[in-house]
Structure 1
Amino acid sequence: MNGALPDVPEVRVVGLPQLTSGFDLVERLDLGMHLKVHGPLEPIGGEQLAALAERISLKGRGGAGFPFAKKLRSVADSAIRRGVRPVVVVNGSEDEPACRKDTVLINRAPHLILDGALLAAEALGARTLVIGVTRDSTERSMQQALAERGLSNRRGSALRARVQRNPVRMVTGESSALIRSADGGPAMPPGRKVRASDSGVGGAPTLLSNAETFAQLAVAARIGADRYRNTGLQDEPGTVMLTVSGAVARPMVLEVPSGVPLRYVLQLAGAPPLPQGVLTGGYHGKWMDATAAHDAVVSRASMDAAGGALGAGAILPIGQDTCPLGEALLVAQWLAAESAGQCGPCYLGLPAAARGLEDILNGGGPAALEALRQITQAVKRRGACKHPDGSAAFIESTVSAFTDDLAAHVLGSGCGRPVQGVLPLQDEAAPTAGAGGGDTGPSGQRLAVDWTLCQGHGLCADIVPELIQLGPDGYPSVAEASVPRYSQARAVRAVRRCPALALRLEEDPSKPAARPSLPVLPPGRGRRALGSGRD
């Protein structure tokens, strides 16, 4: 249940391959095989490269869909105005459990990504290239690719290229988090909105796009805009990389021309003939019902019109034999745990939204539904990054898409179906040493309330509001809560300050930690086991 996808799942192609050319020959295209399959590539001037990106309607493939040509010109203008050399960053930080397309490309066709990045660097006059990754396999493959090209981070090099390794966390894939880590900081959003094209790595104008985007640019530069446009739709030409998982017989990554029916993609992966719903765009995406999924084609416009989202290319159907709200709750809880813990909408709002969805499932009635709607509205457009917005949108889409099940839980005794755990989630793992941002994972502890001692003073809710809230009676509304690492210090403080000694920290068997950094109290012991009680 909810098992993680492998780094490189099965790869299939509909039509003629472009990004996946050569995958039928070798597992990984080294530089020699890459040149045999794709051929050499000549540099292109800056305006020519921007014009090429415009002609093929190239948009970012990481989820936001921002026009690449506009981003390229913005970086060039900023660099010229300021008189500084820009930086090029490849975002290969594919940390969402339902996405593997970029990971597949980095592992199997790293030189195609480097081709696009080096084209952009040459056109802009950049002398620094950073490739952000989060996995052992992608780090190894990209380091090897740089070595095969003779690229390094040594001083005096015409182009200094390096791989930036970050922990596998949802927020590390956010552009500002990657830039911050490349500058030596933690892999978390900085909390201030600054365009990378104005000020990115080292304060320089920075062209940042995801791995597939650079690979698409490399393909178009080789075959030309006209031939590139012969594949797919007129308004969204070319191919699209998709990750299909959920209730399917064969989780896979597919390269398909835009315009392919979504139902055909689902059929290839062995999805149920009549899915209860299809989550599109990943865990910051939207649900489509079976009818909409049957009629839609793989394109941004078509899926948006059908109520879905292409996003980062994740497609996840669920069958009729599972509770869709229960499946969504597992994802909502995971999204809440992925918080960077540095802004209220994230570390307070997302756990509250997950608890609100849980209240609905537990028969909270119309009041619980209204409370959930208020929470999701309060979360949006107030975070330090897009994680709160995307997570709130996912919950809102869940509530809107499964109205019959929602009514059964809100007005009755539930839908009667079990939760199968068909949506993949990340395996819990300790962050890599030295990767930065290692305080955002599970601590392996839980904060527990001893009801025989609790007197309702409420200090705990003031100190750790992300873990404990007070109910209408003035007492904590939960008996125990898992403690993420970013809340450990506050959890210890809450234990120490409880006047009634009613709080304790215990081992959390559901979330083991590889490296516990704070003492764990055995059940039944109070604050004196931690010391004097002073902060």
Structure 2
Amino acid sequence: MIAVRHIGPPRLTAGLEGAGRLDWDAHRRLHPEPAPLTCEGLVALAEEGRLHGRGGAAFPFARKVRAVAGSAARRRGRAVVVVNGTEGEPGSAKDKVLLRRAPHLVLDGAALAATALGAGEIVLGVADEGSAASLESAVAERGLAARARVVRLPERFITGEGGALVRGINGRRPIPPGRKVRAATRGVGGRPTLLSNAETYAQLAVLAGLGPRRYAGVGTPAEPGTVLLTVTGSARFPAVVETPAGAPLGHLLDLCGARAGEGVLVGGYHGAWITGEAAVRAGVSRAGLAAAGGTLGAGIVMPLGRGTCPLGECARVARYLAAESAGQCGPCRLGLPDIAGALAALAEGRDTGAAADTVRRAVRMAAGRGACSHPDGTGRFVLSALEVFAADVARHAAEGGCGRPVRGVLPAETAARLRLEVDWSRCDGHGLCADILRGLVRMDEYNYPVIPDEPIPARLEGDARRAVAACPGLALRLVPRS
């Protein structure tokens, strides 16, 4: 499990210096049980503490509570409280640390919200076995089995999207719904649902325990309290770090043995790249990172270092994001593979004269048209890379590359099992494979297919089998991923 560090006195990470899990007794020695609150009291607490969601969107928690309470009153039904612990971002571990090692802190916040709302159920959605086992033990330790349940969901990037999570808990395929449905209005079982991620509920528990005045003893006036970050990438000492809001990002990078280098990704794969110089000066807060051109997002910090090809790393991530989409709308099914293919061409020194413009055009075509925010988040990641690594883009265009290997500093693993392979002695360049697998396979200047080395996205395996069957020369085959 990733190391846990802190700057200043720990709050969320109190007692996590070792590698163990805090059981019920150990938790209560560190965190007194929060006093029950009415719904009005919970709203007032969240407003005074300026509590915002910590899953990426940073939505004000008090507004969510009000919306759920209003829907429950209008419909005369009991609400549901959902903890989103799926954490599908490959570079994020902060919620897993809380769920595996401090599960009772998360449950304190969830139980506080459930009591205030008069909710009939607490649902804990997770995607990994370690978090599920820890939470099930915590539910048993607290005697909450009649009121709380753990739901295990697939470990995919899009599983954590709010609509996808609700669908999964409801027993349906966990993908974003085709139209926006507010969980506060109609969520789990069709009931009004308060949905926030694990850190948000843990922050609520700390806020209730300290009170707004003491909670604001660290942080900034606009963003009181601490921030939980996952620092990975090229860091020599990757860690989940708790720090007061507003602390210098450069300090965190030093703590984790990381150099800012040419660029630092902040906010995760739906976040944005900022230059190394901007990263060193930036403060760790929503406002501080926005001023530097980034976003706090899911609390992910990934310095790239100087020993790997930036465009090659970004091309790997773009292909991963294309593979992880639900594939249910045009911007995801066609737009994201186009973006990934164009970025790969630029990184590999192919079609360099127009590749960067092709990437930008593909992003514009996908922007604002998806069934969820996945295309927009991917576009933000790619466009910020072109801007921050502009010198590298120019070098690839002029020289066909930068001379650096792609070391895989940014995690980009998928659940894909198969990859395509071509017998070039049989291939006649008919192009049927490129027609069937648009965006994944393309034809080169000699009218032969360019086959990706990466595994085929699981959702495209059916199309890949059709392409194999349709190949007139019997040149195409599917083989297990290496």
Q: TM-score range by the shorter chain?
A: over 0.9
Q: Quote the offset at 1:425 in angstroms.
A: 3.6
The secondary structure found in structure 1 opposite 2:179 is coil
Residue by residue, what CA displacement relative to the aligned partner does 1:286-323 show, whole Å, maximum 9, x if unpaired? 11112211211111001101111111111111222322
Structure 2 residue aligned with 1:319:
305
Seen in structure 2, the aligned counterparts of structure 1 residues 344 and 322 have a Cα distance that, compared at 3 Å, is: same
- Give the aligned partner of residue 505 of structure 1: 477
CA contact (8 A) 2:232 2:302 kept: yes
Equivalent residue letter for 2:7 = V
SS at match of 2:381: helix
- The one-letter amino acid paired with 2:131 is T
- Paired residue type of 2:240: V
- The letter for the 2-side match of 1:13 is H
2:459 is the counterpart of 1:490 = no
1:136 and 2:129 matched? yes
1:408 matched to 2:391: no
Q: 2:320 aligns with which of 321, 334, 337?
A: 334
Partner Cα separation in structure 1 for residue 242 and residue 429 of structure 2:
60
Q: List per-residue Cα deviations over 1:428-452 (Å, max 9, x = no partner).
A: 5xxxxxxxxxxxx313242647574
Which amino acid letter does the alignment assign opposite residue 126 of structure 1? A
Deviates more, 1:466-475 or 1:318-327: 466-475
Q: Which runs of 5+ in 2 are unaligned?
A: none
Q: Does residue 277 of structure 2 align to residue 296 of structure 1?
A: no
Alpha-carbon distance change, 362 to 425 in structure 1, aligned in 2, over 3 angstroms: closer
What amino acid is aligned across from residue 422 of structure 1 in structure 2? V
3-state DSSP of counterpart to 1:270: coil
Alpha-carbon distance in 1 for matches of 2:153, 2:275: 36
Letter in 2 for 1:121: A
Shift of 1:479: 7.6
What displacement does 1:506 show?
A: 2.5
Give the Cα–Cα distance (whole angstroms) in 2 for the partners of residues 81 and 292 of structure 1: 48
Mapped contact 1:199–1:205 kept (Cα < 8 A): yes
Aligned to 2:203: 216
Equivalence map 1:129-528=2 (5 Å): 129-152=122-145, 157=146, 159=147, 161-272=148-259, 275-363=261-349, 364-426=351-413, 441-446=415-420, 448=422, 452-454=426-428, 456=430, 458-469=431-442, 476-478=449-451, 482-498=455-471, 500-510=472-482
Partner of 1:88, secondary structure, is: strand
Q: CA deviation at 1:481?
A: 7.0
Tell me the CA shift for residue 258 of structure 1. 0.6
In the alignment, which residue of structure 1 is the partner of 2:110?
Answer: 117
Question: Contact 2:429–2:447 (CA<8 Å) still a contact in 1?
Answer: no
Q: CA deviation at 1:470?
A: 5.1
Distance 1:334 1:68, change over 3 A: same
Q: CA deviation at 1:235?
A: 0.5
Contact 2:455 2:481 survives alignment (8 Å): no
Structure-1 separation of matches of 2:7 and 2:313: 30
**1:454 alignment partner AA:** D
Is this contact kept in 2: 1:323–1:417, CA < 8 A?
Answer: yes
Aligned partners of 1:177 and 1:189 also within 8 Å = yes
C-alpha distance in structure 1 between counterparts of 2:468 and 2:258, whole Å:
48
| Higher deviation after alignment, 138-147 or 190-199 | 190-199
Q: Is the CA contact (8 Å cut-off) linking 1:448 and 1:480 kept in structure 2?
A: no
C-alpha separation in 1, matches of 2:404 and 2:18: 45
| Superposition deviation, residue 249 in structure 1 | 1.3
Give the partner amino acid of 1:506.
L
Deviation at 1:399, TM superposition (A): 0.3
1:38 paired residue among 18, 31, 38: 31
How far, CA to CA, are the matches of 1:65 and 1:410 in structure 2?
38
Alignment RMSD (CA, Å): 2.0
Which residue number in structure 1 is paired with residue 22 of structure 2? 29
Conservation of the 8 A alpha-carbon contact between 1:62 and 1:311: yes
Partners in 1 of 2:19 and 2:399 — Cα distance?
55
| 1:98 and 2:91 correspond | yes
Deviation at 1:240, TM superposition (A): 0.4
Q: Tell me, what secondary structure is at the counterpart of 2:478?
A: strand
SS in 2 for 1:94: coil
Tell me, yes or no, if the aligned pair for 1:286 and 1:393 is still in contact at 8 Å.
yes
Q: Aligned letter for 1:261?
A: P
Runs of 5+ unmatched residues, structure 1: 1-7, 429-440, 511-535
Distance 1:447 1:421, change over 3 A: closer
Q: CA deviation at 1:285?
A: 1.0
Find the aligned partners of 2:85 and 2:452 in 1 and give their Cα distance.
Answer: 40
Q: Shift of the alpha carbon at 1:264? A: 0.4
Partner AA of 2:29 in structure 1: K
Shift of residue 186 of structure 1? Answer: 1.4
1:455, 1:164 → 2: CA distance? Answer: 48
Shift of 1:467: 3.1
CA shift, 1:81, in A, is 1.1
Deviation of the 1:424 alpha carbon: 2.9
Q: What is the match of residue 41 of structure 2?
A: 48
TM-score normalised by structure 2 residue count: 0.95
